[in-house]
Amino acid sequence: MANLKIGKMVLRSLFKRPATLMYPTVPREWKELTRGRIEIDIDSCIFCGICARKCPTDAIAVDRNAKSWSIARMGCVQCSCCVEACPKSCLLNKAGYTSPDTEKVVDTFVKPEAEPGSVVDS
């Protein structure tokens, strides 16, 4: 009786499409509401640190004096708490995720210094 059930399952699976995609040969289609990797527009960031305080995994570090913002990519769980909390809306989710690696990846962004004598818009 068990052989009959297994035989039916094998025959059924022979004529169905595969349940998985042939990744990476078939690229993934990103849906509209997919949360992906966190990106920052460093020029509009005011380095308030709210995103770092809202991050549940402490993956974000903000240094106001050095005007730098960094994220530990392997520590980020793509929950979008930082994106929702940012008062300047300089954080956003991009479709795609950080590629797996054997080393922890920390991306650091530093705001470029204004050249002396140039006009700074506020």
Query: At 17, is the secondary structure helix, strand, or coil?
Result: coil
Encoded tokens for 10:
């094998």
Residue 17 covered by a domain? no
Q: Domain for residue 122, yes or no?
A: no
Total structural domains in the chain? Answer: 1
Please report whether residue 18 resides in a domain.
Answer: no
Tens-digit pLDDT string for the chain (122 aa)? 677 888 888 888 888 877 777 767 777 777 776 778 899 999 999 999 999 999 999 999 999 999 999 999 888 988 989 999 999 999 998 887 777 778 888 999 998 886 665 555 54
Determine the longest span between alpha carbons in the chain, in angstroms: 87
CATH number, residue 44: 3.30.70.3270
Q: Specify if 121 maps to a domain.
A: no
Helix (H, G, I), strand (E, B) or coil at 97: coil
pTM for the model? 0.68
